[in-house]
Structure 1
Amino acid sequence: MASSATAPAATEQHQMSHREVLEALSGLLLAMFVAMVSSTIVTNALPRIVTDLEGSQTGYTWVVVATLLTMTATTPIWGKLADLVSKKVLVQTALVIFTAGSIIAGLAPSMEVLIGARAIQGLGVGGLTALVQVVIASMVSPRERGRYSGYIGAVFALATVSGPLVGGLIVDSPLGWRGCFFVGIPIAAVAFIVLQKTLKVETVRREVHIDYLGATLIVGGVSVLLVWVSLAGSQFAWASATSYALVAVGLTLIAVALYVESNVAVEPVIPLRLFRDRTTSLATAASVLIGLAMFGSTVYLSQYFQLARGMSPTEAGLMSIAMVGGLLVSSIATGRIISNTGFWKRYLVGGMVLVIVGLALLSRIDETTNLVVVGLFMAVLGLGLGATMQNLVLSVQNNVALSDMGAASSVVAFFRSMGGSIGVSALGAVLAHQVSAKVASGMAELGEPVDPHQTGGIPDLSALPAPVRAIFEGAFGEATGHLFLVALPFAALALVCVLFIKEVPLRTTVLRDDELAPVTTADSSGLTPADAGSVRS
């Protein structure tokens, strides 16, 4: 075993230049682009998909939630595996899984098969999104990481801009919505080849203990509660035996998961000891709330443009540029400034304030709001999100040891995705309930018979008489604005969490000071912290 005194020298010897880092990241960012494009294309195509497959508002919600859930469940596992085995193999495996899910989704004959295929896609997306942060963290110091977070934000923005536009064109073309699932497959193949040639990063090798039981229990408990939120009030009453049973089962599974994580798992999927750190605890809480507010409200914007404003998928895609443009500008700008100064909290706080302002403004929209005004409101929200999402992960990475980097990064991503799953499901249920009630009321005023399936479904507006179409447009327009109002308190709570995070200037080394210092005691693996940080494959 190398002595701890030599660890710093070993670490310095393997510092990578900016060019080497970019070469290593090229294939990874391409893979991430594929994952992001698939999500944005599908979001824009969903109204047409659900109409074609005769789905409902609940089905619309679960096409999104299925991906978020499997992505959430597997993100910590991918992060843990990244601490143990080859990161290149992991990313390539995630690409293969994602491609398989895309093929099944493109051939799906029903909503049920499509939701299942989206769950498979989520397994791959979970790996791709988690591993980008992990690989960057293993190559560069937190001080330099802001620059690369800006690149991630740029890729995310490019994918979010191009996805709806390309998706809209594909949906409106002879390929139809099924083409949206196939378009990413050639790009995924290119990403696989590029990764094989360019990604060369270190692997920390130690005994592997993956907490599959903990991950299964966590996602099982959350899934049961999301099923309850999605279906209660429509498939069964809130105060019913079915409702009580689902809540009891969900809470029991989560309680058992907490017991397993704290007492049984050798290497828990969510290491509870990480939450002893105040920054990690507050950043994780903020991530849940941001995920809930962001995913829960923005995922229905495409539906708003197509169903409340009568736009085509292509036109709805063009409208997304406003929010993504703001996200792109703030993500790159704050990443550069943070890298230059080493200070990050002021931009995190400012970003959260803009998120709150953006949500408050968007809560005022309805089917008559001027589209330029809607675009400006979306740009404000985008500016806030761009300054917030990556920097929350950065604040945690700056505080944890290199050996915990994968687990800590994925924990933040895990809880943000979990918040997103809860938000999409809960706010989808709110949207479905409000639209159904408003349509039923409007139809009654027209003296038309009310079809329960019609009030809860996704209508084909072009096939409806003008008065009925106006009722649906008004219902979707007003209900969408209400979603942003519901999301607002969660963003405010996230701001409170961020305010209480203690700012620690970003360190300029990959390892913490205590990992670089000479240490005489060894951990349970027989390695000192410095040794653990310097073992290479």
Structure 2
Amino acid sequence: MTTTVPQQEDVISLEVITSPLEAVKAEGQDEKTQDQTHTVDQIHKLPETQDREQHWLTKETHLLPKNNIWIVLPGLFLVTGLAALDQTIVTTANPTIAADLHGGPTSISWVGSAYLLASTAVIPLCGRLSDLIGRKPVLWSAIFLFLFGSTMCGVAKNMTWLNICRGLQGVGAGGTENMVNILLGDIFPLEKRGFYGGLFDLVWAFSGLIGPLIGGALSQSGSSWRWCFFINLPIGGLAFLVLAFNLKLNPMQKRPLEEVWKTFDKGGYLFLLAGIVLFLLGFTFAESHGFSELKAILCIAIGGALFLVFALYECAMERYFPDKTQTIFPSRLFRNRTTLLMFLGIICRAPAFMATVFYLPVYYQAITGASPVMSGVKMLALTLSCSLSALISGYNISRIRRCHPTIVISFVIMTIGTGLMTMLHADTPSVLQAIYPIIFGIGFGVISQSGVMVIQAAMPVKEMAVSGSAVYLVRFASFTVGVAVAGSIFNSGVRSNTANITGYDRAGLPADQSNLRNLIHLQPPELAFQVLKAYSDAIRSIWIVFTPIVGIGFLAVLGIREYSMTRNTVQQQ
């Protein structure tokens, strides 16, 4: 059913696409749809004593701005691809960067950790700030910071310089990725977001796919690795021009800076920011020194306590001062069973994925002796399986308008895939070196968009930006934890596994990534075999630890309730 609101003076022409009740009827009252918790029909059957008329699902309307999708989507694809490319391009270039800038294992680990830490810290700021001052100012600022940080990384003279600028780059990347996710919710209705989200996942995976290849090619010799960062400048500039001239968004009330400052939840953000920094710093310290390090334990404990303080503070502010402050995250996120279980699922799966992205190339280069380029080629098995499964699952979710079955299946596949990765030895056949990551990648790709959609379906449209930011915050924080935990497992494993190898002069020391490719050439061959086995066992230990964690995520998502993915949707003319 399509109707048009008559045009009046100073009134936008609107086209009603569908209503929740019409959408349910159009689906033929499918039995599975009727079984969903909090479907539209069930909400309308609630007794008056439950304030049926006040339920957010029956009253809200999602206003969609009119855009030329064929132009705007490529611009957003460029932004997404840029952030994904920058995350993976350094994975195969790390050994060369470490050698050129004389970096040790601790400093090289910060190339990834500084980026992810900064990306995570800025995410909650972008979500609520974009509600207060508008989407575009936040997006433009994030793109500028990313490009400036890329330039400074490209001219870095030492590891300290590089890592500081990687943090600045991370601020821009976290902002751009989060804003693209928010804009996706602004432009497309929830029930179609699975398909378009699958397209963005395809772009992200493709960019991540070519990232190791480009990084390996650019890091073959000397200081050519600097182009791993300079390559961002033309891509980012083109993305900005496309979006600046073509992106259309719903008009927002302009607020004076004084009002924005008073309304913004400064206390909540400070609690959250302190918690993020301390918590992730603790894991970063543990990556280099182990979890027995006192400063790592203190940072993790204090950071975790601050997260609890933040949640309590947000609930109190929303209850006692609802008209004075817009909280960083609505308390519903902390009180709803579905959102909490979905967050737990993300926490269990995201670290395993990022650990694999960082340490599978180490396996290929150190254990199999692959060059940086060949390491990137071998990573195709993981990235292609992620991208194609994300696209297919996104289309299927948009078609059936259900997420829960997809989520459960994906966790089963990913748990099996993570377990298979523990079987990668020094002498594993090349075919199995590809098959195991493919199964793992399918499991991760299938759930890529489902988590965001489940949480946004459980939240009001007005909280779509901050709920999406919450998902990205948990995901990015989990990525950082995954890299840190994997690094700690790897370094401690190398120390213990090589401690008693006679003739190996790096016995007992953390892994030196600048020399990993030389391990296979150690002499005599018996020494090379022992050292390779020691490093291979250290890498396998990463997946041994993460396999039961992913399994816990599977148990968590079994308890998720399904919310209707259909909303009152109105399109501007």
Cα distance, 1:294 vs structure 2: 1.6
Equivalent-residue separation in structure 2 for 1:287 and 1:129 (angstroms): 17
1:92 to 123, 137, 140: 140
Alignment-mate amino acid for residue 435 of structure 2: L
Is 1:42–2:95 an aligned residue pair? no
Query: Match for 2:110 among 43, 62, 77?
Result: 62
Name the structure 2 match of 1:396: 455
Determine if the alignment matches structure 1 residue 80 to structure 2 residue 139. no
Query: Among residues 196, 199, 216, which one is paired with 1:151 in the alignment?
Result: 199
Distance in 2 between residues matched to 1:232 and 1:145, nearest whole Å = 38
Q: 1:399 & 1:237 partners in 2: Cα distance?
A: 37
Q: Which amino acid aligns with 2:198?
A: G
| TM, length-normalised to structure 1 | 0.86
Q: Tell me what 1:530 maps to.
A: none
Change (3 A) 1:230 1:414: closer
Q: 1:94 to 1:471 in 2, by over 3 A?
A: farther
* C-alpha distance 493-73 of structure 1, shift in aligned 2 (>3 A): same
1:330 is aligned to 2:389: yes
Letter in 2 for 1:36: A
Partner of 1:44: helix, strand, or coil? coil
Indicate the SS of the match to 1:83. helix
What's 1:357 paired with? 416
* 1:466 matched residue in structure 2: 523
Give 1:270 shift: 3.0
Equivalent of residue 16 in structure 2, options 12, 18, 24? 12
How many pairs does the alignment contain? 504
The 1-side partners of 2:266 and 2:378 are apart by: 41
**Is the Cα contact below 8 Å between 1:147 and 1:336 reproduced in 2?**
yes
Which consecutive residues of structure 2, in runs of 5 or more, have no partner in the other structure? 6-10, 18-62, 319-324
Alignment of 1:83-482 (within 5 A): 83-172=131-220, 176-205=224-253, 208=260, 209-231=263-285, 238=292, 242=295, 245-246=298-299, 249-251=302-304, 253-263=306-316, 266-442=325-501, 445-446=502-503, 458-459=514-515, 461-462=517-518, 465-467=522-524, 469-482=528-541
**Counterparts of 1:503 and 1:8 in 2: how far apart (Å)?**
34
2:30 is aligned with 1:30:
no
Pair 244,389 (structure 1): closer, same or farther in 2 beyond 3 Å: closer
Using the size of structure 2 for normalisation, the TM-score is 0.81
Q: Is the 8 A contact 1:79 1:406 kept in 2?
A: yes
1:330–1:247 CA distance, 2 compared to 1 (3 A) = closer
- Give the superposed CA RMSD: 3.0
Partner-residue secondary structure (3-state), 2:186: helix
Distance 1:225 1:284 in 2: 17
Is 283-292 or 220-229 further displaced after alignment? 220-229
Look up the SS of the partner of 1:12 in the other structure: strand
Shift of 1:219: 3.8
2:279–2:303 CA contact under 8 A, matched in 1: yes
Structure 2: distance between partners of 1:295 and 1:233: 14
Q: Return the offset for 1:175.
A: 5.3
In the aligned structure 1, how far is the partner of 2:221 from the partner of 2:296?
Answer: 43
Instruction: Give the 3 Å change call, closer, same or farther, for CA 200–358 of structure 1 in structure 2.
Output: same
| Equivalence for 1:521 | none
Distance 1:182 1:267 in 2: 39
Whether contact under 8 Å (2:114, 2:167) holds in the other structure is: yes
- Cα distance change on mapping 1:46 and 1:216 into 2, 3 Å: farther
Deviation at 1:183, TM superposition (A): 1.0
> For 1:9 and 1:279, how far apart are their aligned partners in 2?
36
Task: For 2:16, give the aligned amino acid.
Answer: E
Judge conservation of contact 2:287–2:485 (CA < 8 Å) in 1.
no
Q: CA deviation at 1:469?
A: 4.9
Residue 51 of structure 1 aligns with which residue?
99
Q: What letter corresponds to residue 221 of structure 1 in structure 2?
A: G
What do residues 43-62 of structure 1 show as CA deviations (whole Å, max 9, x unaligned)?
22112222333333333332
Compared CA separation, residues 63 and 387, structure 1 to 2 (3 A): same
Aligned partners of 1:79 and 1:131 also within 8 Å: yes
The letter for the 1-side match of 2:475 is R
Question: Cα distance, 1:247 vs. partner?
Answer: 5.1
- How far is 1:161 from its partner? 1.4
Deviations, residues 183-205 of structure 1 (Å, cap 9, x unaligned): 11111011111111221111443
2:559 to 464, 482, 500: 500
8 A contact 2:146–2:173 mirrored in 1:
yes
Contact 1:106 / 1:181 at 8 angstroms: preserved in 2?
Answer: yes
Letter of the structure 2 residue corresponding to residue 90 of structure 1: V
Q: Deviations over 1:315-357 (max 9, x none)?
A: 1111111111111211111111221221222111111111111
- Find the counterpart in structure 1 of residue 31 from structure 2: none
Change in CA separation of 1:277 and 1:228 when aligned onto 2, cut-off 3 Å: closer
Is the alpha carbon distance of 1:479 and 1:278 closer, same or farther for their aligned partners in structure 2, counting shifts above 3 Å? same
Name the CA distance, whole Å, in 2 between partners of 1:420 and 1:228: 14
Secondary structure of 1:310's aligned partner:
coil
Query: Does the 8 A contact of 1:75 with 1:130 survive in 2?
Result: yes
Could you say what secondary structure the match of 1:144 adopts? helix
Residues 346 and 475 in structure 2, CA contact (< 8 A), matched pair in contact too: yes
Residue identity in the other structure for 1:79: G
Kindly tell me: are residues 79 and 234 of structure 1, through their superposed partners in 2, closer, same or farther at Cα, counting changes over 3 Å?
closer
Deviation at 1:29, TM superposition (A): 1.6
Distance in 2 (alpha carbons) for counterparts of 1:152 and 1:190: 18
Cα distance, 1:359–1:179 mapped onto 2, change above 3 Å = same
The DSSP-based 3-state class of the residue aligned with 2:326 is coil
Distance 1:212 1:53, change over 3 A: farther
The sequence identity of aligned pairs, in percent, is 27
What amino acid does structure 2 have at the position aligned with 1:211? D
For 1:125 and 1:301, locate their aligned partners in 2 and report how far apart those are by CA, in whole Å.
Answer: 23
Q: Distance in 2 between matches of 1:184 and 1:450?
A: 37
Does the 8 A contact of 2:492 with 2:510 survive in 1?
no
Q: Which digits, 9 at most, give the CA deviation of each residue in 1:293-318, with x for residues without a partner?
A: 22133321112211222111111111
Listed as ranges, the gaps of 5+ residues in structure 1 are: 512-533
Counterparts in 2 of 1:192 and 1:173: CA distance versus 1, 3 Å = farther
Per the TM alignment, residue 458 of structure 1 is displaced from its structure 2 partner at its CA by 4.3
Q: Is the 8 A contact 1:25 1:199 kept in 2?
A: no
159-168 or 454-463: bigger deviation: 454-463
Using the alignment, how far apart are the partners of 1:233 and 1:388 within structure 2?
28
CA gap 1:315/1:194 in 2 versus in 1, 3 angstroms: same
